[in-house]
Structure 1
Amino acid sequence: MKMVKSKVLDFANKISRTKRGSRNGVTSDDPEYKILEPILSEEMAEVALCLELRKPKSAQQVALLCGKQEAETEKLLWEIAMVGAAFVNEIDGVDQYWIDVWVPGHMEMIVNNKELIQKYPQLGEAFDAFGKKKGPLAAGNIPVGSGPMRIIPIQTAIDGETKSASYEEVSKYLNDNDIFSLSDCACRTSREAMGEGCGHLKEDICIQMGHAAEYYIRTGRGRKITRDEAFEVIKKAEDNGLMHSMPNFDGSGETHAICNCCGCGCFALRLASQWQNPDMIRSNYVVKVDAQECVACGECVEVCPTNALRLGQKLCTAQPEKPKKRDLPYDTKWGPDKWNPDYRTNKQVVAEGGSSPCKAECPAHIGIQGYIKLASQGKYRDALELIKKENPFPAVCGRICPKKCESDCTRGDIDNPIAIDDIKKFIAQQDLNAETRYVPTKKHQYDKKIAVIGSGPAGLSCAYFLAVDGYQVTVFEKQPALGGMLTLGIPSYRLEKDVILSEIEALKELGVEFRLGIEVGQDVTLDALRKDGYSAFYIAVGAQSGRSLGLKGESSIGVTTGVDFLRQVNLGQQSELSGQVVVIGGGNVAIDVARTATRAGADDVQLFCLESRAHMPAHKEEVEEALAEDISIHNGWGPRRIIEEDSKVTAVEFAQCLRVLDEAGNFSPEFDEQHTQVIAADHVILSVGQAMRWGRLLTGSKVNLNPNQTVIADPITYQTGEPDIFVGGDAYTGPRFAIDAIAQGKEAAISIHRFVQHGQSLLLGRIQRNYQSFDRQALNLDGYDNSPRQEIAEVDGQESKKTFRDLRGTLTQQQVQQETLRCLDCGVVVADEFMCVGCGACTTKCQFDAISLVRAYDADGADLKNVKGVIIKHALKRKVRIAMKAPIKRIKTMLVD
């Protein structure tokens, strides 16, 4: 058993202003002792016991009190200050030392010594444990403005607010001081030491001023910066989704630091979230939502540090629910049944009843309602920026998206869904020109190298978001062209190559490097890349191989797979077709193959599939386009054999398909062998699915595969059995849509960022984007006028089949204006004013003037000299309120019974 350092324990009690052995005294099991034990010797503690709370003393004065030589005392005092157990400043030409409170004070000072926190990770654990010890005791007992830390609003959120006071403005504190330092965030450093980091920026992000800055600079905890640089840090913090708080015991209008915090890492904000006790840290402001202006884009929801904002429903329901009354710590006993210990993993983005279907159904959860509103106002640049927060390739998706958002659009219950995809396509035309392309500003600059393997939608999306975060990203592509299946698997008449390349230009401007013609596993191994300094890998190679059916005659000359055929055409390797072409398959790829074969010179193209016309997996509009191009579609037929002569295909025999699925819904086709037909063919193209082709990429790795050869990975983080390898797109899900892959790429980028940064958790503090739509059946949609959907002019099939050019147009600006007005504005942000701490982070994300801060309290700060009395008075009044409220509850219960 480790021996207790007696004088260190005494010193822990001195800082705590308690007596050792008393009821509230600090013991060797408490975090106050544990944070000092590794860093203080008994000799240092003996000297530290002579220091006083916020009363500076020189080494000469302390030497007299502790009975040591002045030189020895000076040496020990400096060591005490270096570890963070005392402040030191030069006052009147002499170094003077003092002690402060634990938080904000010594806990942060100790943790901010980078050498110590690396050597003793338990220092971070002690800081965390101190908050967990004190948090429950404070719930409900501290009035607004009297807690040790306090939120200070983002200044732009209260500019012009007539009730604002100067002490509520960040600029006041920066302008009042002349010396500044910059350090890492102590809270996020502690989380990191415990392996529980949230991934938010912690380096060089918290500002000290005055005596604290002098101390941080002299002891190497922070570097000296100018006032202008301090203002730049404030802006950088806001751009990175952080908000501001400050130590609150220096007196009204005074503080020695400005912290830039996140809701999932900050120990002060934990008081609001874990113990549901926002009064202890809140500013004087609360959020207000203008429901008429709000478009439920969700930007404010995801940045809110206390989950006070969620997306809800704006449209009226037939039977509105009455709002539920909540208990408050102000007048209620506040025990574990009221707390939220899992606040770092259970953040909700949607209110109980759900929100707009378009955002919920979009795999990338784009703020669709938001960009429609911006487009209606002619703010096309802002609309493009909003889209690219979630989808870096809107011009691509505007041409090939499956339009899940439109399928569930509420407007479809009145007449026709909003032409969401066509509006997006119009907005995204800006991305095709260098002058108007939107390229985001990098959030930070990291020295880590990340390798992305595969340049399809998943890989490009991951590379984009990692580059925005500030990483050095290299994309390896084994083909001679960028874009993966976007380029090689989708015909140009649907997605022209210059569209893909134009949007890839944004990645190049962000510094992403591309290496073509390199097959990882063959030309270079993962181990070689690790030795070259790559810290993590994202594998998004796509389902590049076509599936066979195992039919007799499949190896005949003239038989190929749809995937191989499209790749050869898109790379310019396919010579012209002639004669009769039979395509087997009923999905979108099969339609693409058939239409491509027509353009490649086939005299006649026939498509055969198992499914009925109504149940074909291909999109209805693509089927109609194929028919318009004179492609014959034969439903309900399955291939039995391929007939050959001299090793060359001559025909295909089909049997009538009686069913595709069995009663349980499993694929189990049944055929009428008596009802067959033979179709002459010069070429047969099998388009019945895609498969993975791994080569030697995963050789020697711990990556495990499913029976269908997709990678086994965590469904939230996309981490594989090899910790530094993440996966997405077809390699994880099998063939799906580009928008699904794009969404996965963003989530993987979040995971990779956390993985390569020391001590970060892949899950804690991560937003689960479980957007849910409301019950459309319960809506009251009476009173809405029918308004025709704006349509793009149909392309004549006889013209389109002659060219690989995409002849489809876009909506005109006038049509966009008309179509955006059809949006029902389904969703709205719902605010929990009690949980709002008034930070204003939400206002920095809203582009619609729909969210603001209003002054709801009038507390101007606390002073350590008198705060104890204020708290005791408040706590006694609270006890009275609880006592008075209790009988009323009992009476109500009796009446109900």
Structure 2
Amino acid sequence: MINEHDFWPDEDGKPVDKEKEKMILKLATIITDRYAKKFTHTLNTKDPEYWMLDRILTKEEASFLLSFKKTRVPYSVDQLAKMNRMTNGEAKEMCIHLCVYGFLESVRRKEEPHEKMYDLPIFVPGIAEFMMMNDQLTTEHPELATFFNLMTQLPLGGITQMVPPGGAGIGMHVIPVEEAIQADNRSVSVEFISHWLKKYDKLSVGICTCRKQQRMRGEGSGEIEGEYCIGLGDLAEYSVDRHMGRYITYDEAMEIVQRAERKGYVHQITNIDGSDKIVGLCNCAPGVCNAIRTSQLYNTPNMSASAYRAHVDKTKCVACGKCVEVCPVGAAKLGQKLCTKHGEVTYPVTELPDAKSWGPEHWNYNYRETSKINCYETGTSPCKTACPVHLSVQGYIKMAAEGRYLDALKLIKQDNPFPAVCGSVCNRRCEDRCTRGTIDQPLAIDEIKKFLAAQELKAESRYVPLCENGEGKFFPQKVAVIGAGPAGMSAAYFLRREGYPVTVFEKEKAPGGMLTYGIPSFRLEKDVLDAEIDVLRQMGVEFECGVEVGKDTTIQKLREEGYKAFFLAIGMQGGRKTGVPGEDAEGVETGVDFLRRINHDHSIRLSGRTVVIGGGNVAVDVARTAVRAGSDKVTMLCLEAPDEMRASREEVEEARSEGIDVKNSWGPKEILTKDGKVCGITFKKCTAVFDSQKHFNPSYDENETITLECENVLLSIGQSVIWGDLLKGTRVELNGNGTARADKVTLQTAEPDIFVGGDVYHGARFAIDAIADGREGMVSINRFVHPGQSLTINRDLRAFIELDRDDIEVEGFDNAKRQIPGHKAGIATQTFEDLRIPLTEEQVKTEAARCLGCGATTVDDNRCIGCGLCTTKCNFDAIHLTRDVPAASDMYKAEQKFGQIGKYAISRGVKIVRSKLGKD
């Protein structure tokens, strides 16, 4: 628990004005909501209530505020003038001054609306927020941020467990997404946002003080402050009068509300003024919102929950996980739909204090440091778990089955901007772990994705995501992405979608990186790639091609041009040599150089016989390209045994079908030359690739060798990073293999504004791994370019657990066999065209029907706060709100709330006693 005394400077030795000290202690006691100290008059000079008031108020101001005697009781200027022996002018001037500071709140007189009355607010909601709105005040007193934080938590310690399940929320109260409750005929008007926005004559919008507070404390979680808080009636006028808000129309307010729902912000109202009265509507970022954070700290969600709870229809749920991502309190988690061999899986619910003693041992001290938990320990769909970007596989397969092709593509593009690319070149880890594969054959997941992407390529217009920040604008902070491969372009895509000006710098003449220059066209047609890149251009991403950073410009120059962060994703453009004699001979080339040359110019030819050294997917690409380049015979040799090869079995089989001879367990010994040219190569038998510690450390039988005659040797045993002068003048550190060293979560290097991703960070992998890095790079850069944001607090690590595929009971399933895509007419070895064609629409629906539907979301009713954000993200009508706790919409004045809490505390105490006695 926070110790408030740790936050205040020691001012021992400072001259003390005892009269002022007495006045401030009395005033602090009137305002504080810490009732134990309020009624016992035990506040002291070390308490934050005293310290903050003493720091800001003069003795005269404190004296004036003491004339109010109670909080939230309005007085006219005339009354205040008489009570303080002032003229009306002096009293009004003092009231206006204290309103600007936030110590007084103005309200309109019913009989004379143009005349103001003034009251003394409580700290929260009230003075603490009002002070936080004042930029001049928070600049002079940055400790106000910690004061605000403490005043939202300290008064509630030991009280929140006594908030009844039926509500009486303290201060803030969740109000659901309106669309989620419109069909509920039991709903009441106060549960609708439109009711409140239409009820009041004036509306304003101002900055979110919670976001500002956490930014000032250096504990922001990526939800950037801006105009999110809507004032109603008197508060609207008060905010505008203080120049800390601006008037807006009803339509503008609804736009703010709808945009908040898109961004995953929770609607909350201030509920302290009694029946059918509020002063504000907040659109709260769960990572920083004081109300949500406090309920999480004390593990008492009843404190601010609405009357509604979310429930999942598992027959419709497809475990897409979008509801889980947006749930502000972790109530929704992914589990499994399939039964185990022992029956249906049951999931735990959060323990509530309704009949249990509730002390600090039940609090969640690390509620912000711990990351979002996406699924239960028993696991969820293996396809989603295995995918590096954790695509909503079940979701888009279900949409494909229903013919909702564009919807499916939109769902995919929430996490992967290149579905057509991945449909062609992904190594299909989702299929490797598909539960259906334990029965017969896994689903053709990537073929379905390829079909979906093809539908968009045929369309007149393509899906272009909405690009905006939380205020519907663009941030001013420019971001530079260096390298237009899959990692860099993905970072650009996600950054632009979040509202950033992004420029991608690429040294080649066209974007795409290894997708363009490393993957052959017979695996990835360049018009397909260009179509998906064009979407980024339509989004507003700028591409600067033919620019090599480190040569044509530098990172420092880009900083001077206003770029605030850099994402380095230049890939591994260089090949590796074997180190054996003869590899400098004419006719020896690295595979990546060969692929780059031939992808630039398909007319390049190879004459004679070719040997390809390597056992990965790139080596297979090299070998198949050599066939198409006219080589008389192509032989591929690698260290690995057949079951150890890094290349996919499908790729190896395609190579064999094209006449390529694949030989396993051989390593190069010497390249033979004649007149400086290759004439052959000798291999030695590899007996083991790894040592006893599983480290790469090949061992050989030097006595068993083979020699192959050839005119070309293509080395595809690995890749290297060619940095050039890109890192000159930076503090970026490199690993032994030349990759950049960076934090494994944030991807931040030793140079704070430089982040890395893709092969240049983790070594040669696949496009889907690079895409995952691009997304995480966006998360970090979004936080980094805004001061006060932590790169880790409340970060979704997107960690998923695979269900136990050996412990499932499948009662029935579609018996259709896995669908096989067709091929265009033509001879594969004589063309660089991709002869594979997507599945037909009929095949897609047949294949989609084979899905077992492994996963489903489960909502913990005890933890759910009924915000309804989950319903806005569900594309399957699988999650709904129901009005389970009607009493949560009862509204009480702040002064009445503790009466309600007291009634509940008595009944709760009886339950606790009975529970201890074993009578329940």
Q: Same fold (TM over 0.5)?
A: yes
Q: Which deviates the most, 682-691 or 45-54? A: 45-54
Superposed counterparts of 1:22-41, under 5 Å: 23=40, 25-41=42-58
**Other structure's SS at 1:754 match:** helix
Which residue matches 1:335? 359
Q: Which moved more, 1:386-395 or 1:31-40?
A: 31-40
Match of 2:7 in 1: none
With over 3 angstroms needed to count, the CA separation of the structure-2 counterparts of 1:205 and 1:21, relative to structure 1, is closer
Within 5 A, what are the aligned runs for 1:118-197? Answer: 118-143=139-164, 144-147=166-169, 148-197=171-220
- Equivalent position of 2:386 in the other structure: 361
CA gap 1:614/1:874 in 2 versus in 1, 3 angstroms:
closer
1:379 aligns with 2:404: yes
What's 2:83 paired with? 65
Q: Which residue of 1 aligns with 2:838?
A: 810
Match of 1:393 among 390, 393, 418: 418
In 2: Cα distance, 1:132 partner to 1:333 partner: 19
Counterpart in the other structure of 1:849? 877
1:47 to 64, 72, 84: 64
Secondary structure of 1:205's match? strand
Q: Are the structure 2 counterparts of residues 79 and 318 from structure 1 closer, same or farther at C-alpha, using a change threshold of 3 Å? A: same
Question: Equivalences for 1:679-828 in 2 at 5 Å?
Answer: 679-784=708-813, 786-793=815-822, 799-828=827-856
CA distance in structure 2 between the aligned counterparts of 1:153 and 1:94, rounded to whole angstroms: 35
Match for residue 32 of structure 2? 16
Amino acid at match of 1:493: F
Consecutive unaligned residues of structure 1, counting only runs of 5 or more, are 893-897
Is it true that 1:106 corresponds to 2:122 in the alignment? no
SS of residue in 2 equivalent to 1:866:
helix
Instruction: Spell out the pairing of 1:653-664 with structure 2 (5 A cutoff).
Output: 653-664=682-693
Q: 1:879 aligns with which of 909, 914, 917?
A: 909
Contact kept, 8 Å, 1:180 with 1:210, in 2: the verdict is yes
Residue number in structure 2 paired with 1:223: 246
% identity of equivalent residues:
45
SS at match of 1:649: strand
Q: Which moved more, 1:639-648 or 1:160-169?
A: 639-648
Question: What is the distance in 2 between the residues matched to 1:654 and 1:888?
Answer: 78
> Aligned pair 1:348/2:373, yes or no?
yes
Over residues 816-843 of structure 1, what are the superposed CA-to-partner deviations in whole Å (9 max), with x where a residue is unaligned? Answer: 1111111001001111001001100100
Alignment of 1:288-687 (within 5 A): 288-320=311-343, 324=348, 327-344=351-368, 345-433=370-458, 435-444=460-469, 445-572=474-601, 575-687=604-716
**Deviation of residue 325 (structure 1)?**
7.0
Deviations 1:431-479 (A, max 9, x none): 4256342211113221110000000111011100000000000000011
CA distance in 2 between partners of 1:886 and 1:39 (Å): 49
Q: Distance between the aligned counterparts of 1:346 and 1:208, measured in 2?
A: 32
How far is 1:659 from its partner? 2.2
**1:489–1:566 contact (8 Å) kept in structure 2:** yes
Equivalent residues of 2:814, 2:849 under 8 A apart: no
CA apart distance, 1:201: 4.2
Cα distance, 1:574 vs structure 2: 7.2
TM-score with structure 1 setting the length: 0.96
Preserved CA contact (<8 Å) 2:158 2:359: no
Q: Distance in 2 between matches of 1:795 and 1:670?
A: 44
Distance of 2:275 and 2:335 partners within structure 1: 38
Between 446-455 and 780-789, the greater mean CA deviation after superposition? 780-789
For 2:67, give the aligned amino acid: C
TM-score with structure 2 length normalisation? 0.94
- The amino acid across from 2:132 in the alignment is V
| Corresponding letter in the other structure for 2:190 | Y
Corresponding residue for 1:864? Answer: 894
Distance 1:114 1:574, change over 3 A: farther
- Give the Cα–Cα distance (whole angstroms) in 2 for the partners of residues 494 and 627 of structure 1: 16
Cα deviation, residue 815, structure 1: 0.7
CA deviation vs aligned residue, 1:96-122 (integer Å, no higher than 9, x gap): 321122222222111122232233221
Distance in structure 2 (CA, Å) of the matches to 1:506 and 1:851: 32
User: More deviation in 249-258 or 160-169?
Assistant: 249-258
Q: Name the CA distance, whole Å, in 2 between partners of 1:74 and 1:421.
A: 71
Q: Describe the SS at the equivalent of 1:852.
A: strand
- The answer to whether the Cα contact below 8 Å between 2:823 and 2:835 also exists between their aligned partners in 1 is no
- Number of residue equivalences: 889
Residues in 2 aligned to 1:298 and 1:672: alpha-carbon distance in whole angstroms: 52
SS of residue matched to 2:864 = coil
1:86 — aligned with what? 104
CA gap of 1:26–1:508, structure 2 versus 1, over 3 A, is: farther
* Rounded Cα–Cα distance in structure 2 between residues aligned with 1:10 and 1:467: 53
- The alpha-carbon deviation at position 793 of structure 1 amounts to 2.3
8 Å CA contact 1:240, 1:443 repeated in 2: no
Provide the C-alpha distance between the structure 2 equivalents of 1:782 and 1:57, rounded to a whole number of angstroms. 72
Residue 588 of structure 1 contacts residue 622 of structure 1 at CA under 8 Å; is this kept in 2? yes
Gap change, CA 1:432 and 1:272, over 3 Å in 2: same
Aligned AA for 2:631?
A
Q: Secondary structure at the match of 1:45?
A: helix
Distance 1:336 1:574, change over 3 A: farther
**1:741 Cα deviation after fit:** 0.7
Kept in 1: contact 2:205–2:246 (CA 8 A):
yes
Within 1, Cα distance between the matches of 2:669 and 2:845? 53
Deviation at 1:572, TM superposition (A): 2.1
> Cα 1:699–1:573, aligned 2, differ >3 Å: closer, same or farther?
farther
CA distance in 1, matches of 2:499, 2:506: 22
Report SS of the residue matched to 2:777.
helix
Q: CA deviation at 1:247?
A: 0.5
Counterpart CA distance in 1 for 2:350 and 2:466 is 42
Residues of 2 paired with 1:610 and 1:795: CA distance? 35
Report if aligned partners of 2:327, 2:869 keep a CA contact under 8 Å in 1: yes
- Larger displacement relative to structure 2 (535-544 or 57-66): 57-66
Per-residue CA deviation, residues 49-87 of structure 1 (Å, 9 max, x unaligned), is: 223533332333222212344433333322211111111
CA distance in 2: counterparts of 1:579 and 1:213, whole angstroms: 82
- Residue 427 of structure 1 deviates from its aligned partner by 0.9
Q: Does 572-581 or 477-486 show the bigger shift?
A: 572-581
AA at the equivalent of 2:237: E
Query: Which residue number corresponds to residue 304 of structure 2?
Result: 281
- Relative to structure 1, is the Cα distance of residues 243 and 628 closer, same or farther in structure 2, using a 3 angstrom cutoff? same
Unmatched segments (≥5 aa) in structure 2:
1-9
More deviation, 555-564/23-32: 23-32
Q: Give the Å deviation of 1:323.
A: 5.4
**Counterparts of 2:229 and 2:647, CA distance in 1:** 54
| 1:206 aligns to 2:236 (yes or no) | no
CA separation in 2, counterparts of 1:430 and 1:343?
44
Q: Is the 8 A contact 2:587 2:711 kept in 1?
A: yes
Question: Counterpart amino acid of 1:863?
Answer: K
Q: Which amino acid aligns with 1:136?
A: G
